[in-house]
Amino acid sequence: MRLLILGGFLGTGKTSVLMPIAREIVEAAGGGDKTRVAIIENEIGQVGIDTAFTEGAGFTTTELFNGCVCCTLAASLMDSLCQLEKDVNPEWVILETTGLARPHDIAESIKRYYDEQMNTAVCITVDVNRWSRLKKVVGELLFEQVTNADYVFLNKIDLADPETIASVRKDIEDLTKGKVYEISAVSDVPGTEKLCLEIVKEIISRD
């Protein structure tokens, strides 16, 4: 089982980015097997999962809405993973955390629980337009999310000017060794799907 943890502050585009990733997972698998992806949703958000797509592609969605999986619901997350393994045995699990979660802590707990056997990756979304303001008020959380990420998506570049994007990129690159990508999860900015496919393939290659 591979686990992709999608984190990032509220409204940065986690659910929006989950969809192209889910599509590229199906694409990378040749569009065939219908039970290969399970989604665990830990945050009620503005944008919901596009169930027309996920149900059509046979995804299983589990909702854990009464706490955060990095703290109060850590045990429930392990339970859900075990249950999914038993019922669905998915090739992939995509976990969307709450905006306040520290996804690296979740990844570490899961690695311990599964004796390092789970292929786990952390992807963090950043809203390039709100980064400089948000870092003044929740900087410690944002820095921790980004520092330990394998991938950072600088999202909503369709709304940003090149100077803003460059300055956020510099901040992020100073913080993390993870790969940094500029994307737009919901607009026609080209390249987002290709980057998602690249990440999917890279995670597969770590098996």
Ligand X SMILES: Nc1nc2c(ncn2[C@@H]2O[C@H](COP(=O)(O)OP(=O)(O)O)[C@@H](O)[C@H]2O)c(=O)[nH]1
The sign one gets for the Cα dihedral 190, 191, 197, 199 is negative
Given the structure tokens 């046979």, which residue do they identify?
58
Distance CA 128, CA 178 (A): 17
In which region does residue 118 sit, left (phi positive, over 0), alpha (psi from -120 to 50) or beta (all else)? beta
Q: Is 45 in the site for Mg ion (CB under 5 A)?
A: yes
Picked from Mg ion, ligand X, none, the partner binding residue 187 (CB below 5 to 8 A depending on kind) is ligand X
Determine, following the binding rule CB under 6 A, whether residue 11 of this chain makes contact with ligand X.
yes
Beta bridge partners of 7: 124
CB of 7 to Mg ion, least distance (A): 11
Residue 171 tokens read as 């901040």
Tokens standing for residue 72:
């109060």
Structure-block tokens of residue 124? 């963090």
135 binds Mg ion (CB under 5 A): no
Is 185 near ligand X (CB under 6 A)?
Answer: yes
Tell whether residue 7 is a contact of ligand X (CB under 6 A).
Answer: no
Out of 2, 12, 15, 20, the only residue in the binding site for Mg ion (CB under 5 A) is 15
Place of tokens 């990032």: 8
Pick between residue 56 and residue 191 the one whose CB is nearest to ligand X.
191
Binding status of residue 82 toward ligand X by CB under 6 A: no
Of the candidates 183, 190, 207, the one whose C-alpha atom is nearest the C-alpha of residue 6 is 183
Please choose which of ligand X, Mg ion, none residue 155 contacts, taking the beta carbon within 5 to 8 angstroms, the exact cut-off set by kind: ligand X
**By CB under 6 A, is residue 42 in contact with ligand X?**
no
For 91, other C-beta atoms within 10 Å of its C-beta total: 16
Residue 14 sits in the site that holds Mg ion (CB under 5 A): yes
The residues that bridge with 162 in the sheet, in sequence order, are none
Give the chain's length: 207
Applying the rule CB under 6 A, the residues between 165 and 184 that interact with ligand X are 184
Shortest distance in whole angstroms from residue 186 CB to Mg ion? 12
Nearer to ligand X, 40 or 88 (CB): 40
**Considering only residues 12-31, where is the footprint of ligand X by CB under 6 A?**
12-16
Chain residues binding Mg ion by CB under 5 A are 14-15, 45
Chain residues binding ligand X by CB under 6 A are 8, 10-16, 45-47, 125, 155-156, 158-159, 184-187
